[in-house]
Amino acid sequence: MSKALYALTIHEALAGMRRGAFSAVELTQALLERIAQTDSQVKAYLTLTAELALEQAAAADARRAAGDDAPLLGIPMAIKDVLCTAGVRTTCGSRILENFTPPYTATAVRRLAEAGMVMLGKTNTDEFAMGSSTENSGYFTTHNPWDLERVPGGSSGGSGAAVAAQEALAALGTDTGGSVRLPAAYCGVVGLKPSYGRVSRYGLVAYGSSLDQVGVLAKDVRDAALILSVMAGHDDHDSTSMPAPVPDYAAALTGDVRGLRIGLPDEYFIAGVQPDVEAAVRQAINLLGEMGAEIVRVSLPNTEKALPVYYLVATAEASANLSRFDGVRYGFSAGAGSILENYRESRGQGFGAEVKRRIMLGTYVLSAGYYDAYYLKAQQVRTLIKQDFEAAFGQVDVIACPVAPTTAFRIGEKANDPLAMYLSDVFTITPNLAGMCGASVPCGFDAGGLPIGLQLMGPPLGEEVVLRTAHAYEQATTWHTHWAQPVAVGA
């Protein structure tokens, strides 16, 4: 039996439209119908742009009829709601930006649109991308399609759930400390976090400016490579974007890992990792060895310091970045009496508890008397973490480990324990601190049927070798062919 249109990968959908089997409008209608059937339970979308999507799909069909064959022509995708979209509200999952409509579009989104992407809508996120579960959204919690009582991961939980529930062919997310890879692992899809500077951050509402990166959630590695090829590259609007040329990432997908050296870090297989997770990841690494890769033990001795370093650097940057939301220039205003009262009330009412927690922590570590003891020291240790990886990548091409210590946890399970929540990111924060790239690829299920992700980390601008390894593993297994079925279609 042939696949439903909403169940296609991007490369399958492009092949179908090129041969005239269906149009972009028909494909988009199929996705919109799927969203109507399932999203009342999954809650992946904050804003649905159905009318705009159909207009863009019709324009894509016209372009194809005129001989255009752009790389994403007619492909319906979702966009995380921290990326600016001109004329479409961008809330960042926060009440403080509930009615904010940007006057411009983020470079990554604009490049996808120019390549023919159809925007289905904006997906839910932890407020200002601060969270690991999407429970910190100012609007509602997104549910994991594999088990509606569990979180989809965060902060790009809406994007991960949309792809896993087949409510989009792919989605953009952002990753500051694991926010693409964690939802990918929890939702059983592919997640790609590019190197810092590989994709423009222009139009991304900043959380941690030295850590944030726009990433991809997709149904398979080939789709992720295609999207990265479109949105990567230097941007004059972003001084941190690298002027390095963009490779043909799809050409790296040879299916062959012979000769590759894959690092197995001692510090990432520790007490507290769920046994099912460790077993699945080790089995995946063993398979790569059987396929011809060389497995090499490596040490990253400063890993244990990464979590406190991350939560000092990220919160300090968040404190500075979020100072612009003052109830004066844009966003929510409480309309209180004096300027100081309005400032206090607007931020007090507009921000949620987790954002306030991180602003306060960041302000504290930047304050006089504490800057050197905390923020400066964290930056120095960050350098040591980066040097650990530089030494490791002198020995290996890719480093493999779990994405998260456990599979998806229950909604509310960690809501009152911020430290337990922060530990969800313990394996994903280091690539952000070191400016590296990383990916999550499905590698199995736990005893309860929840997905497990294999993390593959590469050096800065090492996306080709990461994608090559992820694709070879994916093609040698069937995990990426399994899809969540808990949603009663039509309910």
Q: Mark 214-233 as b/e (b = at least 16 C-beta within 10 Å).
A: bbbbbbbbbbbbbbbbbbbb
What are φ and ψ of residue 218, in 5° steps? -145, 170
DSSP string, 208-234: STTT--EEEEESSHHHHHHHHHHHBS-
Structure tokens, 228: 């990265």
Q: Is 94 a catalytic residue?
A: no
CB burial of residue 338 (10 Å; 0-12, 13-18, 19+): exposed
Angle at 159 between CA 155 and CA 161, to 5 degrees: 100
Catalytic residue among 23, 156, 179, 229: 179
In the block, tokens 């929540």 appear at: 421
Catalytic residue among 94, 137, 155, 319: 155
- What is the total residue count of the chain? 491
State the amino acid at position 7 in one-letter form: A
DSSP, collapsed to helix, strand or coil, labels residue 296 as strand
Q: Is 80 a catalytic residue?
A: yes
Q: Please report, to the nearest 10 degrees, the dihedral formed by the alpha carbons of residues 419, 192, 153, 312 taken in order.
A: 20
Q: Is 299 a catalytic residue?
A: no
Cα 152 from Cα 148, distance rounded (Å): 9
Catalytic residue among 80, 122, 219, 414: 80
Cα 411 from Cα 408, distance rounded (Å): 9
DSSP string, 344-384: HHHHHHHS-HHHHHHHHHHHHHHSTTTIIIIIIHHHHHHHH
Active site residues: 80, 155, 179
